Amino acid sequence: MNWQTAYKKTERLFSEQRRVSTVCYKYQDEGFSYLSEMGDDDIEAEDKLEWVAYKQSYFSSILNPKTPFLKEGTKLVTKNFSDTEKRKNTHLKDYSSDLTLNVPKSDDATVEFDWFFGPNDYEELKSYGEGYDDVLNFGWGLFRWINVYAVQPLFNGLLGTGLGIGLAIFLLTLILKLFLMPVQWKMYVSSAKMKILKPEIEELNKKFPDKADAMKKQTEMMSLYKESGASPLAGCLPMLIQMPILLAVFRFFPSAFELRQRNFLWAEDLSSYDSILELGMSIPFYGDHVSLFTLLMAGTTLVYTFVNSGQMSTPQQPGMPNMKIIMYLFPIMMIFFFNNYSSGLSYYYFISTLFSIVIALAIKKFFVDEDKLKGKMAARKVTVNSKGKKSKSKFQERLEQMQKAQQDKMKKR
């Protein structure tokens, strides 16, 4: 059986619709897979195929035979149009499949199929029990689990109450931020401790300016961290906890069928960009329009960076770029990156960052008193020093051993 088609443009942003369109398929033993979304691709089947799906951004056509397609002779192909082809500006891609039917060789053989033509709606696709929902690009591994088992049910639950799409995204963002508030509090406390230690760390840098004393400086710093109860890595774990949710949502909103052709405020379609100004020309890496939600998202990110800048301890190392400059450049980079993305995604990040600013200011004003924290660190330092140096960590012992070995090596030279 030969199946061919070339989908026409149906979405506002043609380039984005083309970018996520491809052929998906499910092996009988190895499970779900798909051809490349970015360029031309093809495969010769390595196992029997349970179904084949021609997928675009928000709709799919799925062919499911009663008996799986045989692997011998079965081939799937996606091909982009060249610049000289007329369909380059009207159609997405060329899809074609050569599918070997699993039927006896006789004159009266019968072939039965199930066909699905419809939206890439998670609940709809999941209801068939055939794994059709895998065509939704919710990310891989942990990111997909977060979307499937947390973000998607929560979002659908909010929409099921009759709320408008804009308010549903607002409440989804609020719930996720409240869930992550303890993580943000932990990060703030860690940053405050490092800020308090910054003068002492700078003194150690002045005390040991030579590379030959790097091990000794590191040992002194480890002692300082242990005595004060601070750690430069304490803020990393909370960041690692919230990053999967941040990245999962990045995949969720551009794939959510619920956003398609749903308007909110000035955005005509939350699945596409929100344009408040047509430029009349295309700017490289930016586009031919101005997206307001993207500007608001970048603006709040810049404010959040400024609010947190007082808490950041980012000592400048020789030969290393200034991290504060990079952090202030990041919001500007976001303007170019998100201008053509889903306005629903930009709206989510705008509200999320706005909540982060409010939470950070609330933590600073009501929950963390830096003077009291400084007093506790000083008291801990006195307590640790009063116990003597008998309780060294294994890491400190290894550092001292490495330092001694380095000094012996220098003496021999």
Residue 282 lies in a domain: yes
| CA atoms of 64 and 306, how far apart (whole Å) | 54
Residue 270 lies in a domain: yes
Higher per-residue pLDDT: 93 or 14: 93
Q: Do 177 and 45 belong to one domain? A: no
Whose tokens are 């060329």? That residue is 94
**Domain span including residue 25:** 2-137
Judged by DSSP in three states, 286 sits in coil
Q: Do 124 and 184 belong to one domain? A: no
Predicted confidence at residue 172, as pLDDT, reads: 92
Residue 156 lies in a domain: no
Residue 273 lies in a domain: yes
| CA atoms of 330 and 311, how far apart (whole Å) | 18
Q: Do 173 and 222 belong to one domain? A: yes
Angle, helices 343-362/292-309, rounded to nearest 10 degrees: 20
Residue 22 lies in a domain: yes
Predicted confidence at residue 292, as pLDDT, reads: 92
Is the pLDDT at 213 greater than 90? The verdict is no
Which domain-ending residue is among 119, 137, 155?
137
Structure confidence at residue 95 as a pLDDT band (50, 70, 90): very high
Predicted confidence at residue 320, as pLDDT, reads: 46
Q: Do 197 and 340 belong to one domain? A: yes
Single out the residue of 1, 48, 56, 8 nearest to residue 25, CA to CA: 48
Residue 393 lies in a domain: no
Single out the residue of 133, 371, 341 nearest to residue 249, CA to CA: 341
- Provide mean pLDDT across the span 381-402: 56
* Mean pLDDT across the chain: 80
| CA atoms of 88 and 406, how far apart (whole Å) | 65
Is the pLDDT at 14 greater than 90? The verdict is no
Whose tokens are 């480890």? That residue is 222
Beta carbons within 10 angstroms of residue 172's beta carbon: 21
Whether the Cβ atoms of residue 197 and residue 311 lie closer than 8 Å to each other: no
Residue 200 lies in a domain: yes
Q: Do 354 and 240 belong to one domain? A: yes
Q: Which residues pair with 290 in a beta bridge?
A: 277
Judged by DSSP in three states, 248 sits in helix
Q: Do 79 and 204 belong to one domain? A: no
pTM: 0.75
Q: Do 125 and 198 belong to one domain? A: no
Structure confidence at residue 390 as a pLDDT band (50, 70, 90): very low
* CA 287 from centroid of its chain's CA atoms: 23
Predicted confidence at residue 65, as pLDDT, reads: 92
Is the pLDDT at 384 greater than 60? The verdict is no
Helix H segments across 2-151? Answer: 14-19, 122-126, 142-146
- Provide mean pLDDT across the span 39-67: 91
Q: Do 132 and 177 belong to one domain? A: no
Is the pLDDT at 98 greater than 80? The verdict is yes
Predicted confidence at residue 4, as pLDDT, reads: 93
Q: Do 39 and 126 belong to one domain? A: yes
Per-residue pLDDT of 221-254, as tens digits, reads 676 666 555 666 555 665 677 788 888 888 888 8
Q: Which residues pair with 23 in a beta bridge?
A: 54
Residue 412 lies in a domain: no
Q: Do 182 and 100 belong to one domain? A: no
- Among the residue ranges 16-20, 117-121, 172-176, the one predicted with the least confidence is 16-20
Q: Do 188 and 43 belong to one domain? A: no
Angle, helices 214-228/394-412, rounded to nearest 10 degrees: 160
Predicted confidence at residue 372, as pLDDT, reads: 63
Q: How many domains does the chain have?
A: 2
Structure confidence at residue 104 as a pLDDT band (50, 70, 90): confident
77: enclosing H helix or E strand: strand 70-79
Predicted confidence at residue 272, as pLDDT, reads: 86
The answer for residues whose C-beta is within 8 angstroms of residue 244's C-beta and 6 or more apart is 142, 143, 146
Q: What is the dihedral of CA 327, 329, 331, 336, to 10 degrees?
A: -140
Per-residue pLDDT of 137-169, as tens digits, reads 888 888 889 988 989 899 999 988 988 999 999
Q: Do 192 and 115 belong to one domain? A: no
Per-residue pLDDT of 303-357, as tens digits, reads 888 877 655 554 444 444 455 677 778 888 888 888 888 888 999 999 988 988 8
The answer for residues whose C-beta is within 8 angstroms of residue 95's C-beta and 6 or more apart is 3, 4, 5, 6, 7, 23, 54, 77, 78
Give the percent of the chain with pLDDT over 70. 73
Higher per-residue pLDDT: 209 or 10: 10
